[in-house]
Amino acid sequence: MARLSIEHLRKVYGEFTAVDDCSIDITEGEFLVLLGPSGCGKTTTLRMVAGFIQPTAGRITIGERDVTGLPPWKRNCGLVFQSYALFPHMTVAENVAFGLEMRKIAPADRGPRVTEALRLVRLTGLDERYPRQLSGGQQQRVALARALATEPDVLLLDEPLSNLDAKLRQEVRVEIRDLQRKLGLTTIMVTHDQEEALTMADRLVVMEKGKVRQIGTQRELYEKPADRFVAGFIGRSAFLEGEATGGRFRSEGGLDIACKAATAGPATLALRPERLAIGTEAEACANRFPARVEHVSYLGALLDIDVRLTEQDRILLQVPNRQGAAEPRPGDMITIGWAEDAGLVYPREP
Amino acid sequence: MSAARLSLGRLALNGAATLSLGFILMPLFFVVWLAFFRQEIPSFPPEGYSLKWFQAAANNKPFVDGFVLSLQVGVLATLIGLVLGVPASLALMRHRIALGPAINTLLLLPLVMPGIVLGTSLYVFQIETEIATGLPVLGSLGGLVAAHSLVVIPWVVKLVTASLAGFDRTIEEAAQNLGAGPWTTFRRVTLPSIRPGLVAGSLFGFVTSFGNLEMSLFLVGPGRTTLPIAILQYLEWKIDPTVAAASVIQIVLIGAAMIVTDRYVKLSRVV
């Protein structure tokens, strides 16, 4: 295993910039997730690391090796494809042995390593099957075993779980994570599934329109999102548009809100739904406003409540479901409140 | 009522299918039957049955020489067809080539061109080449093989491009990711995946070459005659069942080749 470093990576297709000045450092044994909406450049970045796309500019280093100009077959990256990409004309054992064969490992030594790789992914006794005779989950494991058997310097996962059904996805998620920890694999995973990203990653990279928006742990991204995009993309946020002036925020609807704003001028105030209080709990808050309940969604443990503060200002809040207690109903007037530090202010994006 | 109509429709369909199949198999049936007649002049009813015409065919030197030449030409033309047709298919399917569709059509053209037209043009071309280069082209084995390659290429291109159309290229990337260079990737991953198209293309190309008459008529030289031409020349003088016997041998050989191929590659799935 090795550390991986991506420096000022850039990929331009004609007029379109797929990846723009992307720099990421991944330490040895770290599980890094590239997260973003489709078309954000995360897959392009992964494919540049694997060597299938030649970057327009920038540098990729694996351990001490500069691999930027190397073809895919000289990079020693194990890639698990979204479609698994198993060789249909080879058995499970032959699929897993392929990488060993390419590394000129003697046939006698391949067997034990194939067995070991299949044991790691808990897939024994299927060596002589063909991929078409396996379920999606089993194919996924073979793809993983095939990548692991070669003992790659870095493991790359391209949406590895997106073709599995929901229940299996949960299981495999935990398995991959355990395996990655146990073997100390330096890993990059690409996904658009936020929950998957949050449960698996040591650190996450949020990308949008080819740019890295923020790199950090789950807590950093959720509690201190770097910009409005991250605040909206990781978890949920309610947004109020308005003007910031030192320590205050005036919404479009005329609300005067206490906040810790560093900026001045046109701005957006982001509020996490669970930081909002209602009724008597709101009384101690620095910001208190009357609001009309527009819609209530019952989610079991939680209630999602849409409220309207003014004509322009709407907020989503989330309160625990205290069974038996009086629940707000559409049309009710309630008081909502939040602490001064609950609102995050971002300059308005063009 | 509707069930009755349904079964009536099915009956009509089955009837039509049987009729068409019978129409297709009829000549085959008569050729095979005729090969076993005892009398020299084919007439019905047969006066008796015999295997002597098979012996006559096997002892007929023009037939045997023709068979060997046709086999040589067919094998060589198929090999050349593969060497040219497979890379052409890969290029057409994988890269944006200027005039790609036009080139594709051009490669399939010998299939729809009448044999006589093809033969005449190649005859003129080969004579001009001889005049220009002084090399003996017309009537040579090389000239014949070159012409036959032309009728093999469409089959190879047609069937290999069809195989490539459903081919998932990420498995090539997977091979490269595991350490295989481009040539190893082609040999170990791409080639096995397009093998059905390759095998079927070779088989149909070979059969087309082996049975080709019209084009070859223009291009064979003295003492160098392919089997179909030897049969035609024989028929100009005699109509005894020797020709039928030779045909039966051909039908059996080609049929066997198709059955053996079908064991490895399901032909019905490719064509």
pLDDT digits (tens, 9 = 90+) for B2-28: 566 678 888 999 999 999 999 999 988
Q: What is the mean pLDDT of residues A140-145?
A: 92
pLDDT at B237 over 90: no
Closest Cβ opposite residue A85 in set B174, B180, B184: B174
pLDDT at B86 over 80: yes
Interface contact flag, A103 B179, Cβ < 8 Å: yes
Shortest distance, CA B88 to any CA of chain A (angstroms) = 24
**Range name among A48-57, B54-63, B80-89 with the lowest pLDDT average:** B54-63
Interface contact flag, A87 B184, Cβ < 8 Å: no
Query: Nearest residue on chain A to B176, judged by CA atoms?
Result: A73
Interface contact flag, A81 B174, Cβ < 8 Å: yes
- Residue from A76, A81, A96 to probe the interface with B (highest B Cβ count within 10 Å): A81
Quick check: bond before B46 cis, omega within 30? no
Query: CB of B187 within 8 Å of any CB in chain A?
Result: no
Interface contact flag, B176 A71, Cβ < 8 Å: yes
Closest Cβ opposite residue A73 in set B171, B176, B188: B176
pLDDT tier at A58, thresholds 50, 70, 90: very high
pLDDT at B271 over 60: no
pLDDT tier at A100, thresholds 50, 70, 90: very high
d(CA A137, CA A135) in angstroms, rounded, equals 5
**If you write DSSP's letter for every residue of A311-336 in order, what string do you get?**
SS-EEEEEEE--TTSPPP-TT-EEEE
Closest CA to B204 of B136, B137, B110: B110
Shortest distance, CA B163 to any CA of chain A (angstroms) = 14
The packing angle between helices B141-165 and B191-211, to 10°, is 140
Residue type, A233: F
Interface contact flag, A72 B177, Cβ < 8 Å: yes
- Residue from A79, A148, A150, A163 to probe the interface with B (highest B Cβ count within 10 Å): A79
Closest Cβ opposite residue A102 in set B171, B178, B192: B178
Q: Are strands A187-191 and A203-208 parallel, antiparallel or unpaired?
A: unpaired
CB A187 within 8 A of CB A33: no
Query: CB of A150 within 8 Å of any CB in chain B?
Result: yes
Residue type, A132: R
Distances, alpha carbon B14 to alpha carbons B11, B17, B23, B33, B102, in Å: 5, 5, 14, 26, 41
Shortest distance, CA A180 to any CA of chain B (angstroms) = 19
**If you write DSSP's letter for every residue of A25-67 in order, what string do you get?**
EE-TT-EEEEE-STTSSHHHHHHHHHTSS--SEEEEEETTEE-
Shortest distance, CA A67 to any CA of chain B (angstroms) = 13
CB A121 within 8 A of CB A144: yes
Interface contact flag, A102 B192, Cβ < 8 Å: no
* SS3 label, residue B142: helix
Q: What is the mean pLDDT of residues A113-123?
A: 89
Residue type, A68: T
Looking at residue B3, what is its pLDDT?
62
Closest Cβ opposite residue A87 in set B171, B176, B177: B171
d(CA A317, CA A302) in angstroms, rounded, equals 10
Distances, alpha carbon A9 to alpha carbons A17, A56, A201, A230, in Å: 11, 8, 22, 21
Query: Nearest residue on chain A to B192, judged by CA atoms?
Result: A89
Interface contact flag, A99 B188, Cβ < 8 Å: no
Query: Nearest residue on chain A to B181, judged by CA atoms?
Result: A73
Closest Cβ opposite residue B180 in set A73, A89, A147: A73
Distances, alpha carbon B95 to alpha carbons A204, B92, B101, B120, in Å: 37, 6, 12, 35
Q: Are strands A31-35 and A203-208 parallel, antiparallel or unpaired?
A: parallel
Burial class (CB in 10 A: 0-12, 13-18, 19+), B252: exposed
List pLDDT tens digits, range A191-226. Answer: 988 888 998 999 999 999 999 999 999 999 998 898
Q: Please state the φ and ψ torsions of residue A336, each to the nearest 5 degrees.
A: -120, 155
**Range name among A103-107, A278-282, B123-127, B200-204 with the lowest pLDDT average:** A278-282
Structure tokens at B240: 């005894």
Query: CB of A104 within 8 Å of any CB in chain B?
Result: no
